[in-house]
Amino acid sequence: MQADCRFCAAPLRHVVADFGDQPFANALVPMAAPAAPDPRYPLRVMVCGACLLVQLEHAADPALLFSDYAYLSSVSTHWLDHAARFATMAVDRFGLDRSSLVLEVGSNDGYLLRAFIGHGPRCLGVEPAARIAAAARAAGIPTRTAFFSARTAAVLRQDAGPADLLVANNVLAHAPALPDFVAGLAHMLAPGGVLSIEVPHVLAMLRGAQFDTVYHEHVFYFSAGVLRRVLAAADLAIFDIERLPTHGGSLRVLAQHAATGRQAATGALAAVLAAEDAAGLGDPAGYASLAADAAGVVADLQGFLAQARAQGALVAAYGAAAKGTMLLNAAQLGPADLPFVVDASPRKQGLRLPGCRIPIVPPEHLRAARPDYLVLLAWNLAEEIMAATRFIAGWGGRFVLPLPRLRVIAA
CATH at 280: 3.40.50.150
pLDDT (tens digit per residue) in 258-294: 999 999 999 999 999 999 999 999 999 999 999 999 9
Q: Among residues of the chain, what percentage have pLDDT more than 70? A: 97
Same structural domain for residues 374 and 248?
Answer: no
| 36 assigned to some structural domain | no
Report field, pTM of the whole predicted structure over 0.85: yes
Same structural domain for residues 188 and 321?
Answer: no
Same structural domain for residues 181 and 280?
Answer: yes
Same structural domain for residues 320 and 210?
Answer: no
How many domains are contained in the chain? 2
Same structural domain for residues 219 and 357?
Answer: no
Cα 221 to Cα 227: distance, rounded to the nearest angstrom: 10
Cα 258 to Cα 372: distance, rounded to the nearest angstrom: 56
Handedness of CA 290, 291, 294, 295 (dihedral sign): negative
CATH of the domain at 364: 3.40.50.720
237 Cβ partners below 8 Å, 6+ apart? 231, 255, 256, 257, 258, 261, 265
Same structural domain for residues 227 and 374?
Answer: no
From 269, 287, 305, give the residue that closes a domain. 287
| 12 assigned to some structural domain | no
From 249, 266, 287, give the residue that closes a domain. 287
| 201 assigned to some structural domain | yes
pLDDT value at residue 360: 98
Query: Is residue 79 pLDDT above 90, yes or no?
Result: no
Q: Among residues of the chain, what percentage have pLDDT more than 90? A: 91
Same structural domain for residues 307 and 228?
Answer: no
- Work out the average pLDDT over 53-65: 88
369 Cβ partners below 8 Å, 6+ apart? 314, 316, 339, 340
What is the dihedral angle through the alpha carbons of 307, 308, 312, 315, rounded to the nearest 10 degrees?
-160
Query: Is residue 402 pLDDT above 80, yes or no?
Result: yes
DSSP secondary-structure letter at 39?
P
pLDDT value at residue 291: 97
Domain of 251 in residue numbering reads as 73-287
Same structural domain for residues 239 and 385?
Answer: no
Same structural domain for residues 265 and 246?
Answer: yes
Pairing type for strands 398-401 and 373-376 reads: parallel
Cα 267 to Cα 12: distance, rounded to the nearest angstrom: 33
| 44 assigned to some structural domain | no
What does pLDDT average to over the chain?
A: 94
pLDDT (tens digit per residue) in 131-175: 999 999 999 999 999 999 999 999 999 999 999 999 999 999 999
Query: Can you name the residues that pair with 126 across neighbouring β-strands?
Result: 105, 144
Element (H, E) at 178: helix 178-188
